[in-house]
Amino acid sequence: MKVLISPSILACDMLKVGREMKRAEESGADWLHADVMDGVYVPNISFGFDFIKAAKSAASIPVDVHMMTVCPQKYIKELKACGADSVTIHHDIAPESDIIKALWEIKNEGMRAAIALRPKFPAEDIKPYLPYIDMALVMTVEPGFGGQKFMSDMLPKIAAIREMSPDVDIQVDGGINQETASLCAEAGANVFVVGTASFRAPDMKEAIDKIRLSAGKYEVE
């Protein structure tokens, strides 16, 4: 699986968003990662559709939106309109049938669809959704806040999902840096959301290059 690096917008300098998105792209980022938080599903509140639209307009790389919200299915058309290329929803916000319907709607709008698992949920919870998703997100911290410590006990979950589905992208988010990216890649992850270790690194391009090199040791063609 190709290694993809996705800097998290939450870690950028919010006073210079346009410049920061360009800096990420020029530093070699493959995607931009946008966490939408509603203050209900998670205790924090982040940003909305206008912000995503602005970020999308500042760079030419895909925008991957992680909906940490209780009713993401209400906003699929709005996400498409603001430029989202990929949408991730959490499986525990609605019954299975409703989640599958939302995934279909995301794909019908021409976006990639993904399911996220919080740390407390096992790998097996992803099984019903594998036929409908392009990516599985394994949260390696509790969702809602940046700068948390990587949870190494999530590595077996990554490996279990990779065993279930050799072809699905597996994304990891939380505490990702050069060292933890290598561990996650060895377990089977190939998409790395990087916050503090990218935007707040002394040299963003060097940081992204090192993470890509570290994870790329386990890249499979």
Out of 39-48, 153-162, 198-207, pick the least confident.
Answer: 39-48
> What is the domain range of residue 148?
4-216
Share of the chain above pLDDT 90, in %: 91
203 given a catalytic annotation: no
Residue 139 domain flag:
yes
Q: Which pLDDT value is given to residue 216?
A: 85
Read off the pLDDT of residues 157-184 as tens digits, 9 standing for 90 and up. 999 999 999 999 999 999 999 999 999 9
Domain count, the chain: 1
User: Which of 110, 45, 38 is closest to 81 using CA atoms?
Assistant: 110
Measure the CA–CA gap between 46 and 144, rounded to whole angstroms.
Answer: 9
Q: Which pLDDT value is given to residue 151?
A: 95
Read off the pLDDT of residues 60-73 as tens digits, 9 standing for 90 and up. 999 999 999 999 99
User: Which of 69, 123, 71 is closest to 101 using CA atoms?
Assistant: 71
Predicted structure pTM score: 0.95
**Mean pLDDT of the region 30-59:** 93
Residue 118 domain flag:
yes
Where residue 104 sits, what CATH number does that domain have?
3.20.20.70
Residue 221 domain flag:
no
Label residue 28 left, alpha or beta by phi (over 0 means left) and psi (-120 to 50 means alpha). left
Read off the pLDDT of residues 7-24 as tens digits, 9 standing for 90 and up. 999 999 999 999 999 999
SS (H, E, C) 45-77: ECCCHHHHHHHHHHCCCCEEEEEECCCHHHHHH
pLDDT exceeds 80 at position 147: no
For 168-209, the DSSP string reads SEEEEESS-SHHHHHHHHHHT--EEEESHHHHTSSSHHHHHH
Residue 40 domain flag:
yes
CA neighbours within 13 Å on the CB side: how many for 123? 15
Q: Which pLDDT value is given to residue 142?
A: 87
173 given a catalytic annotation: yes
30, 35, 64, 169: which is the annotated catalytic residue?
35
